[in-house]
Amino acid sequence: MTAVLRVQDVVAGYGEVEILHGVSIAVSEAEIVAVIGPNGAGKSTLLKAIFGLVSVRGGRVELVGRDVTNIAPDRIVQSGMSYVPQTENVFPSLTINENLEMGAYVRRDGLRDRLERVYDLFPDIAPRRAERAGRLSGGQRQMLALARALMLDPKVLLLDEPSASLSPKMVDSIFEKIGDINRGGTAILLVEQNAKEALSFASRAYVLAMGENRFEGEAKEMLDNEEVGKLYLGA
């Protein structure tokens, strides 16, 4: 399969602190790839570096073969990538509909059709489109954040800890929606602290530790890998 996203030997960090020390990953078309690892491994920093929120000091990020290293997030979005951060991922003072319209701020046409397609995918929030997002529960906000990220029909969707602080039932619902999004043709790169859930869900996975690649391979095989289980899955 063709790699829609390729990260090659990326070095990145904050200020003088280097967090990523040459990380490489690839995501193919319509694939779900999970990134797991202990706290402080650099997982969230990796997503931010890919999306242009953290400066890449070395290496390269490619989106569908195009070099997008250190391109500003607004241009990254226009190139076909969306990002859902773990927190502050909706505008609470705006309505659901206004949040979705903000997600499509660079669209020049087809907004109404795209809105309806997104509402069809997220029927739980559709009847509440005129309500302010601040009135939604944590799980509903996460649904809205996913919906907003889809407004530009991205080729790749970056998700940072989508199950964080959610009830087990809502975690199941969120992963079900992520599966629906992927089946619609969007490749997904997923950072997830719930490693077992992520490995059960993804097709392939990478393990980061201390800002470096530690393991990579088929997700299901990692679930059975004794070393991965002992170090990262609590087995």
Summarize the confidence of residues 27-46 as an average pLDDT: 94
pLDDT at 87: 86
What's the CATH code, domain 3-89+155-232?
A: 3.40.50.300
* Residues 215 and 225: beta-carbon distance below 8 Å: yes
Residue 235 has pLDDT above 60, yes or no: no
DSSP letters spanning 109-151: S-HHHHHHHHHHH-TTTGGGTTSBGGGS-HHHHHHHHHHHHTT
Question: What pLDDT, on a 0 to 100 scale, did the predictor assign at position 234?
Answer: 62
Can you spell out the DSSP letters for 130-141?
TSBGGGS-HHHH
101 pLDDT higher than 60: yes
| Helix (H/G/I), strand (E/B), else coil: 216 | strand
Least confident stretch, 1-5, 44-48, 82-86:
1-5
Under 8 Å between Cβ of 10 and 61: yes
Q: What is the pLDDT of residue 194?
A: 85
Q: What is the DSSP string of 86-99?
A: SSS-S-TTSBHHHH
Q: Which amino acid is at 69?
A: T
Q: Report the pLDDT averaged over residues 199-204.
A: 93
Regarding predicted confidence, which is higher, 107 or 212? 212
Mean pLDDT score, 8-22 = 96
Pairing status of strand 187-191 against strand 32-36? parallel
Query: Mean pLDDT of all residues in the chain?
Result: 92
Residue 7 has pLDDT above 70, yes or no: yes
Confidence of residue 168 (pLDDT cuts 50, 70, 90): confident
Band (pLDDT 50/70/90 cuts) for residue 164 is confident
Q: What is the pLDDT of residue 108?
A: 65
Which pLDDT does position 127 carry in this prediction?
93
Alpha-carbon Rg for the chain in angstroms: 17
**Mean pLDDT within 105-112:** 75
Flag the least confident range among 158-162, 166-170, 187-191.
Answer: 166-170
Please report, rounded to a whole number, the percentage of residues in the chain having pLDDT higher than 70.
98
Please state the pTM of the whole predicted model: 0.93
Confidence band of 1 (pLDDT split at 50, 70, 90) = low
